Amino acid sequence: MNASDAAEQVQQSDWLDHAIRVGLVAYGVVHLLIAFLAVQLALGEKEDSASNTGALHYLAEQPLGAAMVWGVAVGMLLLVVWRLLEFAFGYREESDDTKRWRKRATSLGKAVIYGALGWSAVRTALGDGSSGGTDSTTAKLMDLPGGQLIVGAVGLAVIAYGGSLVWRGWTEKFTEHLDAQGQSGTDGSAYVLLGKIGYIAKGIAIGIVGGLFAYAAITHDPKKSGGLDQALQTVLEQPFGQVLLIAIGLGIGAYGIFCFARAKHLSR
């Protein structure tokens, strides 16, 4: 058996299914915490930033928090392994090379996202979860040759990703990740509704993050960029912002619950 066949066997193994389920539960917990912090922000009771890092810090402060944050880190690592296996060996059934490599590129992008969250969890568990902020990262990019274009491209890419999540939610394409039992009956209808709300709300929030990057590129002002926390703050500053932010927060929470449903009714 060569290395490619061995990797294919690992990719199709039951233990990888179990590993993915653990990762999805951890991912769902993070989204529920972000939702909680977003609602706190809307109600003027904000203590931590409504972002991945803020959620991890909040989790670390709870009883057995360090162990739970390490659990998130492990869960994200398991999801990274899954997506990297998909990138390297997945989608062989696709006859269209372009479509196959597009799906593999998507898997690689998700591996990067899970890896970044996992690294944040490790740093938080070690007591070093602070960072220079999104604006400092944007400033460094701005200083590069063609930096303004790079930041603008990042913004457009993030907007596109957010748009793809909204599209997946609206068309219910995400149901392909649920087995037949997870799509049927009363429970199945609830899972689909949670997924639809969750994907759309998360897509809107991420799209706003991308918009902040694009605006920073246009104005050449790194301080105009921001992560999820600043995006939700921007929502709060709009007319009816409190209501809108609570709605987005609840939507992100719905996405977190859908992650649990997906873990239970996993279909790869």
| 143 and 237 both lie in a single domain | yes
- The three-class DSSP label of residue 178 is strand
| 14 and 94 both lie in a single domain | yes
Q: Which of 131, 154, 178 is the last residue of a domain?
A: 131
Return the pLDDT at 166. 97
- Per residue in 66-87, pLDDT (tens digit) is 899 999 999 999 999 999 988 8
Overall domain count for the chain? 2
Question: What's the pTM?
Answer: 0.86
| 84 and 100 both lie in a single domain | yes
| 170 and 57 both lie in a single domain | no
| 116 and 244 both lie in a single domain | no
| 54 and 156 both lie in a single domain | no
Please compute the mean of the pLDDT values over residues 105-124 and round it to a whole number.
91
What HEC string does 99-167 produce?
A: HHHHHHHHHHHHHHHHHHHHHHHHHHHCCCCCCCCHHHHHHHHHCCCCHHHHHHHHHHHHHHHHHHHHH
| 46 and 158 both lie in a single domain | no
| 16 and 96 both lie in a single domain | yes
- Tokens at 229, concatenated: 């926390």
Lowest mean pLDDT among 45-49, 63-67, 139-143, 213-217: 45-49
Q: Which of 131, 165, 186 is the last residue of a domain?
A: 131
**Spatial CA neighbour of 115 closest among 157, 77, 87:** 77
Return the pLDDT at 5. 60
Q: Which of 131, 149, 170 is the last residue of a domain?
A: 131
Return the pLDDT at 53. 81
Q: Which domain holds residue 110?
A: 1-131
Return the pLDDT at 129. 59
- Per residue in 181-224, pLDDT (tens digit) is 888 888 889 999 999 999 999 999 999 989 988 888 888 777 77
